[in-house]
Amino acid sequence: MSIPLIHIGYHKCASSYLQRSFFWVDEERFFDLGKSNANTYLIAPHPLEFDAHFTREIFDRRLQEKPPGDRQLVLSSERLSGNPHLGGGDSLIIADRIKEVFPNARILIIIREQVAVIASNYGQYVRQGGRMSLRRYLVPPKYIIPGPGFSFINFEYHRLIGYYHELFGRSNVLVLPFEELRRDPGEFVNRVLRFGDVVELEKPPEKMLNRSLCYITLNLKRNFNWLFTQRYNSKGAIDCRKAGEKFEAILYNADQLMPRGVRQLGADRLRRKVARIVGDRYAESNRRTSELIEVKLEALGYTSVKEILKCV
C-alpha cells in the first residue's frame, strides 16, 4: 500500500469543504479509502476487539477491488480526532490504531480558535438533539456523576499534535489553522495538496462551509428537542426520526430568512457566552501549539478572552 494521507479533523474545521471539494469527489487526484471504513474498523471496535491485521486486510481488499493507480490514497473523517461531545477521550486510542494500520501515513490536522470551535460544536450538539444549555454542556454541575461529556482538554491542541509527532514524526504531520482558509483559500488548499504530493490548483473551488443556525433558532430547537428521539436525545416523546428531521428542516428554512444583522448579533452573543466560560485557559496550550507548528496563532485570532470580547 502506498503512503496514505489521513485527515483526522478536528470537528467543525473545514472537514466538509475538504471532503466535498477534494477527498471524496476529485477522482483524478484522490482515491478515497472510505469514511465508513474509518468509522467501522478504526473507531468503533472495543479495545479488546480491535484487530489491526484484520483492519489492514479490509483496506487492502478495497484497493484490490478498485486499483487506485497514481492517485493519492486518502482517509478523511473528523471523528478520528475523537468525539467532541464526549471529550475526545478516544483520540489517543484512535491515533495508535492509525499507526498500527498505516505506519507510514501522512497526517493532516486542521485546528480552529477555541471559542469559535466550541461555539460551533455546541451548535452541532443542539442540532443533533442535545438539550443542555451552553453552561451545563461545558460545565456540568458538581453533583452529577462524572462521565463522558465535553472536556476543555480536548481543544488543547498541543497534546494531540505532540502525540502524532511522536508516532509519525514531525515532518509527516501537517497542522493548518482553519483561519488560514478564510484568509487565503488558494494557499491553504495547495498546502494540503503539496503535503499529499498532489498537483496544485490554480484556483481552489468556492468554500462550501456548513451554515450554522442563528442563536435564536438554536435556542428554539433546543427547547423542542425533548419532543423527538435524536442522536443526543434517546428518549424523545415522539420516537420517530423522520419527524425530528422534518421539524429541523422547517426550522432551517425559517432560519434562512433571518436578516444578516440579526444572525450576526446572535453569533456574537454565543461567542461572548463561550468566551466568558472559557476564559484564558487556552493561552498556554496555544503558545505551545504555536511552537509545535511554527505558526503565530495570536496573529490569527487565538488571543485572550479580553481581546475576543472586544471584537464581539
pLDDT at 90: 96
Domain assignments of the chain as residue spans, ordered by start: 5-311
Closest C-alpha among 204, 202, 236, 221 to residue 266: 221
pLDDT at 133: 94
pLDDT at 290: 98
Q: What is the pLDDT of residues 15-51, one digit of tens each?
A: 999 999 999 999 999 999 998 999 999 999 999 999 9
pLDDT at 97: 98
Q: What is the CB neighbour count within 10 angstroms for residue 139?
A: 12
pLDDT grade for 308, boundaries at 50, 70 and 90: low
Q: What is the pLDDT of residues 225-284, one digit of tens each?
A: 999 888 888 888 888 878 888 888 888 888 888 888 888 888 889 999 999 999 999 999
pLDDT grade for 187, boundaries at 50, 70 and 90: very high
pLDDT grade for 123, boundaries at 50, 70 and 90: very high
Contact call for residues 155 and 117 (beta carbons, < 8 A): yes
| Angle 154-248-270 from CA coordinates, rounded to 5° | 45
pLDDT grade for 210, boundaries at 50, 70 and 90: low
pLDDT at 7: 98
pLDDT at 237: 87
pLDDT grade for 78, boundaries at 50, 70 and 90: very high
**Beta-ladder partners of 174:** 108
DSSP character for 237? S
Contact call for residues 225 and 132 (beta carbons, < 8 A): no
CATH 3.40.50.300 applies to domain 5-311: yes
Pinpoint the alpha helices (H) of 112-177. Answer: 114-127, 134-138, 157-168
204 pLDDT exceeds 80? Answer: no
